[in-house]
């Protein structure tokens, strides 16, 4: 029996596509794709480390685009961003089905991996919409509107267009504390950045880094919220359905009144 091959990649989308390239180029029949940050406790396996090369990633993605619709490509990327353990191998099995199907042929949703793809894509899409709705910016002393988030899935790449379009005339930063990176818009382009000041222990922007106008606004907003929030009419169950409690930490009114 041939030993199983573990394909180790750097965790990036291009790195994952390069893993697919290696599997097909070397005709590896029994492969498992794994991030280099994940531990390997399996015995009797061969380990191959993938070098991320843009031209190889582009070749694989070009092949995917030839066989899939725009929506299927978007769903594929969303599923990758879910970061669910073992999702790379679900995507690999999906691609095996995609590459053998004829152009125009419908995808078989009775297939377990394809069905899982559809379900996970919807979960990531919901998280994307929640981030677009619940992100709350705070104006810092260097005139950058800054927000910290901890989404269940890695949705920052999916929300770039929404915020770039909505806040085109302002500098802004959305920082993912869970994954230690952020997206920063400088009025021209969006960049991926990392900041040492933020961590999962240090989740809030310190008051001394907030502009005086921001602090005044927060006080006014909190006062307004307390006045319109009539306790006798509160429906906590319905409120939590529309606004899950795990998002409260992003909201000024929740942080100051509860």
DSSP 189-216: -EEEE--TT--SSS-S--GGGB-HHHHH
pTM of the predicted structure, to 2 decimals: 0.79
What is the C-alpha to C-alpha distance for residues 13 and 78, in angstroms, rounded to an integer? 11
Among residues 60, 73, 62, the alpha carbon closest in space to that of 18 is found at 60
The HSE-up count of residue 97 (CA atoms within 13 Å, CB side) is 19
For 192, list phi and psi in degrees, rounded to 5: -90, 125
Structure confidence by residue, pLDDT tens digits, 117-159 = 889 999 999 999 999 988 888 888 878 888 889 999 999 999 9
Cross-strand bridge partners of residue 176:
149, 181
Asked if pLDDT for residue 61 goes beyond 70, the answer is yes
pLDDT tens for residues 94-103?
999 888 876 6
For residue 48, what are the β-bridge partners?
7
Give 13 or 68, the one with higher predicted confidence: 13
Can you tell me the distance from the alpha carbon of 78 to that of 128, in angstroms, rounded to the nearest whole number? 10
Report H helices in 103-176: 112-134, 156-166
Which is higher by pLDDT, 234 or 48? 48
CB 140 within 8 A of CB 146: yes
Q: What pLDDT score was predicted for residue 70?
A: 94
Helix (H) or strand (E) holding 47: strand 45-49
Q: Report the alpha-carbon distance of residue 5 to residue 28 in Å, rounded.
A: 8
The mean predicted confidence, pLDDT, of the chain is: 81
Q: What is the structure's pLDDT at 221? A: 41
The torsion angles phi and psi of 42, rounded to 5 degrees, stand at -85, 140
- Amino acid 137: pLDDT: 85
Reduced to 3 states, what is the DSSP secondary structure of residue 69?
coil
Q: Is residue 253 predicted with pLDDT exceeding 70?
A: no
pLDDT at 148: 86
Q: What tokens does 197 get?
A: 């000041």
Q: Which two tokens stand for residue 80?
A: 């990758």
Per-residue pLDDT at 217: 42
Residue 39: the pLDDT is 67
210-219 pLDDT per residue, tens: 655 544 444 5
* Average pLDDT value for residue range 9-32: 95
């Amino acid at each position: 029996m041939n030993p199983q091959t573990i394909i180790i990649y750097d965790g990036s989308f291009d790195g994952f596509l390069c893993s697919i390239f290696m599997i097909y180029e070397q005709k590896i029949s029994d492969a498992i794709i794994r991030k280099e940050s994940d531990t390997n406790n399996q015995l009797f396996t061969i380990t191959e480390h993938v070098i991320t090369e843009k031209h190889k990633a582009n070749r694989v993605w070009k092949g995917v685009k030839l066989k899939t619709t725009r929506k299927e490509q978007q769903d594929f990327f969303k599923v990758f961003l879910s970061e669910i353990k073992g999702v790379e191998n679900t995507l690999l099995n999906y691609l095996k089905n995609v590459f053998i199907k004829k152009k125009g042929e419908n995808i078989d949703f009775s297939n377990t991996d394809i069905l899982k793809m559809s379900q996970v894509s919807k979960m990531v899409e919901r998280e994307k919409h929640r981030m677009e709705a619940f992100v709350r910016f705070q104006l810092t002393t260097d005139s950058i509107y800054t927000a910290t988030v901890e989404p269940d899935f890695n949705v920052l790449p999916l929300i770039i267009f929404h915020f770039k379009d909505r806040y085109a005339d302002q500098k802004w930063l959305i920082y993912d504390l869970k994954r230690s990176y952020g997206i920063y818009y400088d009025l021209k382009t969006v960049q991926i950045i990392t900041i040492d000041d933020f961590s999962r222990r240090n989740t809030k922007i310190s008051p001394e880094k907030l502009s005086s106008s921001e602090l005044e606004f927060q006080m006014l907003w909190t006062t307004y919220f307390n006045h319109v929030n009539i306790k006798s009419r509160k429906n906590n169950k319905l409120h939590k359905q529309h606004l899950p409690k795990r998002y409260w930490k992003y909201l000024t009114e929740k942080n100051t009144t509860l």
